[in-house]
Each structure stands twice: as C-alpha cells, then as structure tokens.
Chain A
Amino acid sequence: MMLRSRRPLLFLALLGVAGCGRATHAAETVTVTGSSTIAPLMLEIGRRFEQQHPGTRVDVQTGGSGRGLADARSGLADIGMVSRALGPEETDLMGHTIALDGVAILVHADNPLTSIDRQSVIDIFTGKLATWGSLGGDDSPITVVSKAEGRSTLEVFLDHFELESADIAASVVVGDNEQGVKTVAGNPDAIAYVSIGAAEYSIASGTPVRLLALDGIEASSASLAAGRFPLSRPLNLVVGGAEEGEPAKSVARSLIAFASSPAVHDLVQAQGLVPLSN
C-alpha cells in the first residue's frame, strides 16, 4: 500500500505514460503478506470479509513467513502471516493465532499399534528401526512415507523431532496429505505423517487408516485445539507497532478479529487446519 503510492510519478515519467493512475481505487485496501501455508486460507477469509464489508479489498501476497515479519515491521503490509510461534526477539510485533496446523503419525488400520513414542518415531524415520517386530508387530519391513521438500507438514515434523530433511530414510515420498493417506491405506506396513485435519476427514469417510497417539497423547483436532497435542504449530497474523498499540488501520483490526472468529471455522477446516477452540 505504502509501497504503491511512494513514487508512481517517477515511473509514469519514465514510461511517458499518463492518465492511467489509480484514482478509481477508492476502496480501502488491506494488504496481507507472508506464509504460503496461511495464504490460501487468508484469501478465502478475505473474500468473505469483502462480501460483508462492501468497499474493502483484501490483497493477499505470499513469499514466506520471513516476508510476513519484514513487511509487517516495515509497514509494507498491514498484516503479516507467520506460520510459527513468535520468538523472544519478535516482541515488537503483535501476533494473533487464527488456526493450528497439526501433524500426526498415521498407520494402516490393520497395524496393531495404537500409540508410539518420540524415540521410535525418530528411529523409524531415520532408518534405524527397519521392521515392526520390536514395536509389537510382525517382522515385516516398515515402509516409511515422507513428504516432498517444501511441504509445511515436513517442516513441522522435522522441527518437532529435531531432524534434518537429509536424515529421513524414506521409502516413498508423497506430495499432499491425501496422497499420504492413500499410500498408507494401500500398504499395511506403511507409516506416514499427515495433517490431522486431512487424516480425520479420511477416517470419517471410511479409509482404513489410524492416527497413533504420540507419547500417550491422543492425536485429534480436539486435543490439538485444547493445546495438548505437541506436534503442531500456530498460524499467526502479526501486526507491527506493538509498542505504540494497535495498528492505525481500523479495517485491518476488524479483519484480524474476523479471522479469529467462529465465522471462518468452516474455511479453516476446508484447508485441513484446526480452528482454535472458543
């Protein structure tokens, strides 16, 4: 926004073009930039917000959480999107969690396991544990299903188990959650990590897979929303100027309030994410 209005004249002079200014853009625009995980959700929240507030426009741009932080600080964006918890050096920004991105360990429904501990997960995914034998299953080899580079589920998984992506000894690399679920459903010896929202949706529609409890904590969107399940990350909207109080734009404030309200829970779930409990 600020970026837009800074030096348009210089540009117009450069091209020798005149008369195509943006006087028609009388609508109030909120610019939201950052995490590509939050962007599709924010796009839909913005669309619904625009319908309820005629004359407002919500422009969503991606580029990663880093850009969200930088743009919110510099004021290039009214709101930044950051798909992790804010660190201690980020107290100048105010974060508002709008949803949770939870990841759970998934096995086939025929697998006798119902729970798994942290160390076993690490051993299986780094290839140290090659068969189900020592975990109480038969001696069949474990098929390790991992995510392709760049997937947010992979980042959450690596971050929680303190692994590097080069450590993972994957037998199968899948793209999205749906593909992960399908791979496990078709292979009784497979183990994967997928978004909790997507897995619960598949289980509800009869896919033969099971979510494993992690260190005794049930993997479900309920336990995630209650803050018990650890393998997750918050999806935040951040605004700059925490020291001076709320951001200048009231429309940005009402967009954040709207994004945190139950009015968008269906949109959050449609993205395979988990809304915060009220």
Chain B
Amino acid sequence: MSARDEFDARLARGGRSDRLFAALTWGAAASVALGFAWILVDLCIGGMPRLSAGFFLESPRDAGRAGGILSILVSTGLLLAVALAIAVPLGLASAIFLAESLRSGAALERVVRQSLDVLAAVPSIVFGLFGYAFFSGLLGLGSSILAGGLTLACMVLPIFVRACEQGLRAVPEELLQGAAALGLSRTATLRHVSLPNAAPAIVVGIVLGVGRALAETAALVFTAGYVDRMPRSLFDSGRALSVHVYDLSMNVAGGEASAYASALVLLAVLLVINATASLLTRRLLAQGRA
C-alpha cells in the first residue's frame, strides 16, 4: 500500500467517524427537542378539550373535576408575588455584597457562599418542613399564602443570588476603572454602571427563580396548603397550580382531564414568562450598547 493510499484510507475513516460524531450529537440534540415536543403534544391532547374561557374565569367545583382554576391562578400569583418581594431585594443585596467584597476569602463571604451552596442543594420537601415548622408554626402564620410565599423565597434565594453575582462580576473592568477615574462613589458606580450592566443576568435569575417556584409542589402542600377557594388575604390558605395538578392526578378519581388542562396552563405560563424575560434581556442589552 502506497503512502498516498494509506492517507486516503485514513481520511475516509476520519470522515466516517466525523459523520458518526455529527450524527450522534445531532441525534442527542433532536431527542431533547423531541422530549419537549412529546410533553407538549401529550398535554395538548389531554388538556385542550377541557380548556375554555370558563376554565380561567371559574373556581374549581366537584374536587376540581368541574369548574375552572381562577382561585388557583390567583393563589399562585400571590405566592409568586410574596416570594419575589422577599427574595429579590434580599438576593440582590447579598449578590452585591458577594461581588463587591474585594478581599476574597473574608469570613462572612465564605459563610454566605457556603450557606447558599447548601441551600441550593436542599431537597424541596425539607424547605416544606422547615416552612411548616418555622413560618406556619413558630411565627403563627398557619397554612397561608404568606407562609408558602416565604418558604418559596428561601428556595429561590440561592439560584437568584448566584445569577446576580455572576452578572455583577461580569461587568467589564474598564467600566469600573472608568467610574473610579471619574471619582464616582461606590454607590454611584453600583447604580449607574454595575447594576445596569448586570440587568440581563438579574432578569435571568428572576426567571430561574420563578420557574423553580412555579414547579414547586412538596414544599407548598405543608405551607400554603390545599384550600381551593378564592383567597381573601395573604393569611388565607391557597392552592398553587402545581399542587392542583398533583392532587387531580393522584387523589381525584376522574380528575385526569382537569389535571392535563391545568398542567397545560402551567406550562403556558412558564413559556410566557421565559419569552417575556428573553425579550426584556434583549432590550436591556440593546440599551446597554446604546
């Protein structure tokens, strides 16, 4: 075999393995998309027949088999509002502390960082039991939207802080040096340079947090509770959408159709939030460039 032949043979082999590799990666990517499409189609087939305008305008009847999900949507919205109202200011402040603490390895920074890592890894049922013992029990909130929202805030916090911190750390050094050269105070630098630059990351953090909060079931059964009537205040018990889906599919005979429809709504809400966030991020980025 001549050197030329050998070269051609190797090239051909290489081409085969390249093609194989391309096919594998393509297949893996396609299966991810396929998985999502399958869930979406399955939910649509199961849930569409049950969806109507009334489904959004009525509260559940007959253990959720009839009626709609209005009170559930209101409770879910209130839970999210409470969770974000607590987690966003607290998380943003913590992220600023972590990103701005220049002497890396300071005692408080280590403690905060480790706490966040542990919190991020804690299973949600543990948050649920903590919320049940602390917010519902010790603080006397009982089964209420406030107790559920505060529990969700604890769960969202680590994700949110991490996203914000990364955003703040990614602010270009030249901008910070420029601000320092102009004699801007640290607060002014933060307000006019760091935060606007980190805005897209903060939005991403909020979206990730909202996603986790909307998907949460276990922690909410014990804190926000199971009551499916329209909440009159934050001290009332209220059922989240994910708890509703779980209950209909596991405990209610003949609840399958409503479970599908509610799950479809949950998915739609998540998609809308994601779309809004990416739109917002793009706009913020465009503003930053302008």
Contact = CB atoms under 8 A, between A and B. Distances in A.
21 contacts: A4-B144, A11-B135, A20-B235, A22-B235, A24-B232, A24-B233, A25-B235, A39-B251, A40-B63, A40-B252, A41-B63, A59-B143, A59-B227, A61-B227, A62-B247, A63-B222, A151-B250, A176-B254, A271-B253, A272-B253, A272-B254
Interface string B234-262: 11010000000001011111111000000
A62 B63 CA distance: 14
A110 B253 CA distance: 26
**7 A-B pairs with least C-beta separation:** A4-B142, A272-B253, A40-B63, A7-B140, A11-B139, A6-B140, A8-B140
Given A61-B225, A271-B252, A11 B142 contact: no
Contacts of B225: 59, 61
Contacts of B251: 36-37, 39-40, 62, 152
A5 interface: yes
A164 B64 CA distance: 32
A166 interface: no
A10 B140 contact: yes
A60 B254 contact: no
Given A11-B141, A63-B221, A175-B249, A39 B136 contact: no
Nearest to A3: B142
A36 B247 contact: yes
Nearest to A21: B235
Contacts of A11: 135, 139-141
A70 to B, nearest CB: 12
Contacts of B254: 176, 178, 270, 272
Contacts of B228: 43
B182 interface: no
A3 B140 contact: yes
Secondary structure class of chain B's binding surface, majority of residues: loop
A135 interface: no
A48 B228 CA distance: 14
B55 interface: no
Most buried by A among B63, B141, B235: B63
Contacts of B141: 4, 8, 11
B256 to A, nearest CB: 6
B78 to A, nearest CB: 13
Interface in A89-118: none
A136 interface: no
A150 B139 contact: no
Contact of A5 (B138, B140, B232): B140
Interface in A1-56: 1, 3-8, 10-11, 14, 20, 22, 24-25, 36-37, 39-41, 43-44
B139 A44 contact: no
Given A39-B247, A176-B256, A177-B253, A61 B237 contact: yes
A270 B252 CA distance: 9
Interface string B57-84: 0000011110000000000000000000
B142 A7 contact: no
B137 interface: yes
A44 B251 CA distance: 13
Interface string B202-223: 0000000000000000000110
A275 interface: no
A89 B271 CA distance: 51
A11 B136 CA distance: 10
B130 interface: no
A104 to B, nearest CB: 14
A176 B235 contact: no
Contact of B226 (A6, A25, A39, A195): A39
B39 to A, nearest CB: 16
Contacts of A63: 221-222
A199 to B, nearest CB: 11
Contacts of B140: 3-8, 10-11
B256 A178 contact: yes
A80 interface: no
B256 A10 contact: no
A167 to B, nearest CB: 22
Contacts of A61: 143, 225-227, 237
B76 to A, nearest CB: 17
A198 interface: yes
Contacts of A44: 62-63
Interface string A194-217: 010110000000000000000000
B45 to A, nearest CB: 15
A44 B228 CA distance: 10
B250 A36 contact: yes
Contacts of A10: 139-140
